[in-house]
Amino acid sequence: MRWRGTTVAAVVGAAVLSLAAGCGLGSGSKTELVVYNAQHEDLVATMLKGFAKDTGIDVTLRNGSDFELANQIVQEGSASPADVFLTENSPAMTLVSDKGLFAPLDEDTMAHVPAAYVSSKKDWIGFAGRSTVLAYNTQSVPKAQLPASIMDLADPRWKGQVGIAPSGADFQAIVSAVVAVEGQSKAQEWLKGLESNAKIYRNNVAILSAVNAGEIRTGIIYHYYWYQDQAESGANSKNVQLEFFGHQDPGAFLSTSGAGVLKSSKHAEDAQKLVNYLTGKQGQQALVDSKALEYPLGNGVAANPKLKPLSELDPPKVDIGSLNGPQVVSMMQQAGLL
């Protein structure tokens, strides 16, 4: 009876203390930013490590995919807990921007990257780039037979030879670039041709692996998957080489990973600081030094020497703010890819 009372008191006391400790330390002294992140988690975590150290601002990442997060932000509207939105490709940024949910960016943030990588509404900015490439199996496709343009892949000659991942935001971004460069009707034709030619995979990793195994001869992916695999063990890429289309072909599309500050953010200043950091020298260098092997977009920051230099890519000029996700989905449905 006596000891029971003491034990109860001790337990209650400990609970109260720990609760106080948890609450007291957490609130007040440190700001916490919530970032809805659709980019690869480890890349963003690496890039922001320095930010947390320098500013003392805690960053919580909520990870998902481009459209999953974009649609959630739209749903949440002004009640969204998100302070910053990071995407892998730009159509998702356009979706949110079109609803007027982004806040204008700081001037000096926008000076970090070439103007082409800032949205026309000046409400979001690119912080990493990835080039569309055609991965091909070196043993079954001689270089001479490679297509000159990505549009050629709709040709019946390539029946059963192309791997794509239509359900992913990556491929949908590439399609949006095709629409922007070639126009809607040509893009629709291209999609129709692809539908009969292509083998469907769940994502770029699966495509790379399949090309490597000889299951398919070619696949449309982003460059860094190959480079990452090469850097690791090469298990999924030793029979694969990349073809960069260049010549401002839609197949050379450089997709931009975007960053934007939500208008509804309660920590607007700190959020702007985060985007500033991401696009500034430190963040961009962290990107280059990481294992991600994507392209930095910051002025004066050179990409990882392993990669084909950005200046050699010659991507088509597209207004990154105009790439329309929902239109692409509707076109792909029409073509029977979705």
Partner 1 sequence: MVAVTAAPADAAAPVGRRRGPRPPALLVLAGLAVAALTLLPLAFVAYEAVQTGWAEASRLIFRQRTADLLWNTVRLTAGAVALSLALGVAAAWLVERSDLPGRRLWTVLLVAPLAVPSFVNAFGWISIAPGLDGYAGAVTITTLSYFPLVFLPAAAALRGLDPGLEESAYSLGLGRWAGFVRVVLPQLRPALLGGALLVSLHLLSEFGALALLRYPTFTTAIYDQFQSSFNSSAATMLAGVLVLLCLALLLADLGLRGRSRYARIGGGAPRPVARAPLGPARWPVLAGLAALVVLALGVPIGSIVRWLLAGSSTGVDTHRLLQAAGTSLSLGAVAALVTVVLAIPAAWLAVRHRGRVSALLEGSTYISSALPGIVVALALVTISIRAATPLYQTAPLLIAGYAILFIPRAVVTARAALAQAPPVLDSVARSLGEGTIGTLRRVTLPLIAPGLGAGAALVFLAVVTELTATLLLSPLGTRTLATEFWNQSSSLAYGAAAPYAALLVALSAPATYLLTRQARRGTA
State yes or no: residue 210 binds partner 1 (CB under 8 A). Answer: yes
C-alpha separations of 174 from 99, 183, 249, 280, 317 in Å: 22, 13, 11, 27, 13
The stretch near partner 1 (CB under 8 A) out of 65-73, 137-145, 249-257, 281-289 is: 65-73
Nearer to partner 1, 110 or 335 (CB): 335
CA distance 103 to 109: 13
CB of 190 to partner 1, least distance (A): 17
Cβ proximity to partner 1, 237 vs 284, nearer residue: 237
Closest separation in Å from C-beta 163 to partner 1 = 10
CA–CA distance, 73 with 93 (Å, rounded to integer): 11
Could you say whether residue 236 binds partner 1 (CB under 8 A)?
Answer: yes
Using rule CB under 8 A, residue 138 touches partner 1: no
Give the burial string for 242-270 (b: 16+ CB within 10 Å, else e). Answer: bbbbbeebbbbbbbbbbbbbbebbebeeb
As measured in angstroms, the least distance from the Cβ of 268 to partner 1 is 22
Q: Which is nearer to partner 1, 206 or 268 (CB)?
A: 206
Alpha carbon distance 50, 68 (integer Å): 28
Say what the alpha-carbon torsion angle 120, 126, 129, 130 is, to the nearest 10 degrees: -70
Task: Name which of 6 and 233 has its Cβ closer to partner 1.
Answer: 233
Confirm or reject binding of residue 114 to partner 1 (CB under 8 A): no
Token digits for 135?
């991965």
Closest CA to 296 of 200, 307, 190: 307
By CB under 8 A, residue 62 contacts partner 1: yes
From the CB of 127, what's the least distance to partner 1, in Å?
21
b vs e for 310-333, b when ≥16 Cβ sit within 10 Å of the residue's Cβ? Answer: beebebbebebbebbbeebbebbe
CA distance 129 to 258: 9
Q: What residues from 152 to 171 belong to the interface with partner 1 (CB under 8 A)?
A: 166-169
For partner 1 (CB under 8 A), the number of binding residues is: 37
Our finding on whether 64 is near partner 1 (CB under 8 A) is yes
Taking CB under 8 A as the rule, does residue 188 contact partner 1?
no
Q: What is the dihedral of CA 298, 223, 90, 329, to 10 degrees?
A: 170
Does 336 contact partner 1 by CB under 8 A?
yes
What phi-psi label fits residue 308: left (phi over 0), alpha (psi between -120 and 50 degrees) or beta? beta
148 lines the binding site for partner 1 (CB under 8 A): no
Establish if 35 lies at the interface with partner 1 (CB under 8 A). Answer: no
Residue among 7, 138, 145, 333 that touches partner 1 (CB under 8 A): 333
Which range, of 101-109, 137-145, 261-269, 321-329, touches partner 1 by CB under 8 A? 321-329
Among 201, 226, 277, 295, binds partner 1 (CB under 8 A): 201
Token match 């029946």: residue? 159
13: contact with partner 1 by CB under 8 A: no
Question: Quick one: which of 72, 248, 282, 290 contacts partner 1 (CB under 8 A)?
Answer: 72
Q: Which of 39, 51, 67, 315 binds partner 1 (CB under 8 A)?
A: 67
d(CA 313, CA 247): 8
* Burial letters 202-234, b for 16+ CB under 10 A, else e: eebebbbbbbbeeebbbbbbbbbbbbbbbeeee
Among 71, 140, 241, 282, binds partner 1 (CB under 8 A): 71
Separation between Cα atoms, residue 86 and residue 275, nearest integer Å: 9
Q: Which residues bind partner 1 (CB under 8 A)?
A: 36, 62-65, 67-69, 71-72, 75, 166-169, 172, 200-203, 205-206, 209-210, 213, 215, 233, 236, 325-326, 329, 332-334, 336-338
